Structure 1
Amino acid sequence: MEGVGIVRKVGNNKIIVEFVRQSACGESCATCSAKCAESEVEFLEFNNNISAKQGDLVKIKNNTKNILSYKFLVYGLPLILFMTSTSAAYFILNKYSINNTDLISLIVGIISLVIAFIIIKSIDNKYKKSTDAAILLEKL
């Protein structure tokens, strides 16, 4: 995805870019009630790494590889941890004939989701400071 935005505000080494988000389907269909063809104006804040001034045009590009990695991290990691920890707890508890194996396995799964959240939060904080961002700006 690429788009062009206008720098609306500059200050404190940050810029606010007005960006018109394109519709999901790309067409304006009068009979569609989903209103997916409506474009909306959004204001995005970025670090001013490109020395932009108010009124400058900037190109906004996304790094597809990073976005796919983030999606796997946010959706895949919790799912994998939940499924493996719940299954492992269930089989281990059944092997030793412990009562309430379902409930205890569920609790272990929920704890694994909390652990996944902590892992995702720490990775997010690390990448927040990184220059290898998912959204890239380029001055036009």
Structure 2
Amino acid sequence: MESFGIVKAKKNNKIFVEFTRESACGESCESCSAKCAESEKELFEFPNTLSADVGDVVKIKTRDRSILSYKFIVYGIPLILFMFTITLSYYLMSKMFMKNIELMSLIMGIISLFISYLIIKGIDHKFQKTNKGDIFLEKM
């Protein structure tokens, strides 16, 4: 996956690159009410390893495998933990003949989403330290 951006600012050996986010469908559809074709600009911070100046065009490349693994972590872990927690808590509470099993299972599932947030935050912190080679910048 690759995208082009423009260096908008430079500060303390870091550059701030503005990228235009592409729409999810890739098509412009006037009749669609979702407005997914609207492109938005986003600003990202990178170390200035390219000696880039303000106004330079840079290309960012990422490995597809890394993108897929990040998506699984962000979407898969909370979903799996949520479903597992609701199922397990419902099963255990039904064996103990508790009241309001459904509500209590839902509350346990919501708590599991908070726990998954903490897990993802820890994984993200670990990836920031170890996976420096997943994002490549090139000066154009």
Normalising by structure 1, we get a TM-score of 0.77
- What is residue 138 of structure 1 aligned with on the other side? 138
Find the structure with the greater CA-based Rg: 1
Cα deviation for residue 92 of structure 1 reads 1.4
- What is residue 115 of structure 2 aligned with on the other side? 115
Moved more, 76-85 or 43-52: 43-52
What is the CA–CA distance in structure 1 between the aligned matches of 2:46 and 2:89, rounded to whole Å? 44
What is the CA–CA distance in structure 2 between the aligned matches of 1:40 and 1:105, rounded to whole Å? 39
Q: Structure 1 residues 118, 22: closer, same or farther in 2, change over 3 A?
A: closer
What is the CA–CA distance in structure 2 between the aligned matches of 1:94 and 1:101, rounded to whole Å? 7
Percent identical residues: 57
1:83 paired to 2:78: no
Amino acid at match of 1:103: L
Normalising by structure 2, we get a TM-score of 0.77
Amino acid at match of 1:52: A
Provide the aligned C-alpha RMSD in A.
Answer: 2.6
Q: Is the 8 A contact 1:127 1:133 kept in 2?
A: no
What is the CA–CA distance in structure 2 between the aligned matches of 1:58 and 1:10, rounded to whole Å? 13
Q: Structure 1 residues 12, 33: closer, same or farther in 2, change over 3 A?
A: farther
Q: How many residues align?
A: 138
Cα deviation for residue 111 of structure 1 reads 1.6
Q: Structure 1: which 5+ residue stretches go unaligned?
A: none
What is the CA–CA distance in structure 2 between the aligned matches of 1:27 and 1:57, rounded to whole Å? 25
Deviations 1:29-75 (A, max 9, x none): 6xx24465555544332121233233433211222212211111111
Cα deviation for residue 27 of structure 1 reads 5.5
**1:1-140 mapped onto 2 (5 Å cutoff):** 1-22=1-22, 24=24, 26=26, 32-34=30-32, 39-132=39-132, 135-140=135-140
Cα deviation for residue 119 of structure 1 reads 0.5
The SS at the match of 1:52 is coil
Q: Structure 2: which 5+ residue stretches go unaligned?
A: none
